[in-house]
A and B are shown apart, each in its own frame.
Chain A
Amino acid sequence: MRPALARIYRLAGRAHIVGITGVPGSGKSTLVGKLAQKLRARSMRVGIVAIDPSSPYSGGAILGDRVRMSELATDSGIYIRSMATRGATGGIARAALDAVDILDVAGFETVIIETVGVGQDEVEIARASHTTVVISAPGLGDQIQAIKAGILEIADIHVVSKCDRSDANRTLTDLKQMLTLGTAGTAAKEWITPVIATSSVSGQGIDELLDAVGRHRHVALATELGAQRALAIAEFRLQKTAENLLLGRYAKIVVENSKPLALRLMRREGDPYTLADELLNSSLQTEHEHDARSKIA
C-alpha cells in the first residue's frame, strides 16, 4: 500500500481540490451533486470524497452523502468515494487525502471534498483544499452556524444555501454584514471573498458558484496566493502524516506501559504531567530497544 501511495503522491498535483464545509444539514451533499452535474456539462471529470462521522461508540458509520448525489451514479466521468472519520478530528478522514491523490492521478480535473461539518477543527479543510467553500443555511437555529464553529474565516467563497426558502435573506444579510466588518473571510488582499446564494432546488447560483471557484483558482495561480496555499497544504500534510505515524507507532506501547504509572497517579504519588512525561520517555525507550532487537535479528 505505502509504496503505491508514495508513487501516486509524486504523480499527483494537477487536480483542483475544492473543499466544501458547513454544519450537517446545510445542504453540502446536495450542492456537491449539483456542482458535479454542472462540471460534467462542461466536460470536466469530477472526483468526490464525502466524509461522514464514525460512531465514537462502535467505530462504525452510516455513510449517507451519496443518497443526495444519486443522479451521478453511472456516469463514468464521476467517481464518488464515501469515507468515515474513524476517530480523526478535523472533519477529514485520515485516508481522505490519499483518496484525493488517487482521483487526481486518475485524471479527475476537479476533486471535491465534503467534510463532516462539526466542531472547531473543521478549519483543516482549508489546509487540504485549493478553494474552500463554507456553507451557511437558513433555518438551522443560529442565523449563521459557521460563527459558532469558527470557520467563517477559512472561506474563500461563502455560500448561503437553500435560498429558495424565505428565511434565506436574513442569513445572506447577516453574512454580508460580517464580511464588511472583516470577520468572515480570508484576509488575503488578492481575493475578495464573495457571498453566493444558491438553491439546489431551483438551481439558482450554482453556475455563479462554479464561476467563483474557477476565478479563485485563476487568481491563486496568477498571484502569490497559490504558492502560499500550496506550501500550507504541504506543511499540513506532512505534519498530519507524522502525527499519524507517531500515534500508530507509540499508541500500543503507551497503552502497554501505562498500567504501573496509572497506579502511581491514582495514589497521587505524581501529577499527570510528570507521569505522562515519564510514560512517553519509557515508551520511546521501549521502541528503541525493539528497533535494536529487530536489527540484530
Chain B
Amino acid sequence: MAAPIRILLAKVGLDGHDRGVRIVARALRDAGMDVIYSGLHRTPDEVVTVAIQEDVDILGVSLLSGAHMTVFPKIFERLRQQGADDMIVVAGGVMPDEDVAALKAMGVKEILLQDTLPQVIVDTLRRLVAERGPR
C-alpha cells in the first residue's frame, strides 16, 4: 500500500476565516489523505517549521485576509533557509486575479480560490504529488 499523501493545512496571520479550510480538511481526509491542521494565527516561520517536522508532501495555505502578497514571500524565504525548497506549496481562499500570476511566479504551484469543488482540489493535489514523483 502506498503511503497516503500528507498535507499541512495552515492559516497564517490575523485571518480568522476557517470555514473553507475545515471543508478542505474533511474533503482531503475523505480522499484518503493525512491532513495536519495548524490551527489559526500561525506565523510563516511556524508554518514552515511544522511542514518540515511533519514531513508533508504539500504545504497548503488558506488566506482570506488579503495578506497573501506579504505572507508567501516570507514562507518561501523560510523554506529556502531550511533547505526545503522542494516542498509543494499551494494556496486557497480569496485572492484577486492580478495577484495570482505573481504568486505563481513566486513558486506557488496552484491557487484554488472560492467555489472550487472539493473533488477538483483533491485531483489537483494528487496530480502535483504525482508530478513531483516519489521522494
Looking at the assembled complex, report how far the CB atom of A70 sits from the nearest CB atom of chain B, in whole angstroms. 5
Chain A at the B interface: SS class: mixed
Known: A67-B37, A82-B54. A73 touches B30 (CB 8 A): no
The reply to whether B50 and A73 form a contact with Cβ atoms under 8 Å apart is yes
Looking at the assembled complex, report how far the CB atom of A54 sits from the nearest CB atom of chain B, in whole angstroms. 8
Residue in contact with B29 in the complex, picked from A58, A79, A82, CB distance below 8 Å: A58
What 1/0 mask marks residues of chain B from 46 to 90 whose CB sits below 8 Å from any chain A CB? Answer: 100110011100000000000000000000000000000000000
The number of inter-chain residue pairs (CB within 8 angstroms) is 69
The residues of A that contact B55 with a CB separation of less than 8 Å are 81
What 1/0 mask marks residues of chain A from 44 to 75 whose CB sits below 8 Å from any chain B CB? Answer: 00000000001101111111101110100110
Q: Interface residue tally of chain B, by bracket? A: 20 to 34
The residues of B that contact A80 with a CB separation of less than 8 Å are 50, 53-54
The residues of A that contact B46 with a CB separation of less than 8 Å are 70, 73-74
Known: A55-B29, A70-B39. A61 touches B53 (CB 8 A): no
Known: A66-B38, A67-B38, A73-B42. A81 touches B29 (CB 8 A): no
Known: A64-B37, A73-B50, A80-B54. 16 other contacts (CB 8 A): A55-B30, A57-B30, A58-B31, A59-B4, A59-B32, A60-B29, A60-B35, A62-B25, A62-B35, A62-B37, A63-B34, A67-B39, A70-B42, A80-B53, A81-B53, A84-B4
- Give A contacts to B, CB under 8 Å: 54-55, 57-64, 66-68, 70, 73-74, 79-82, 84, 86
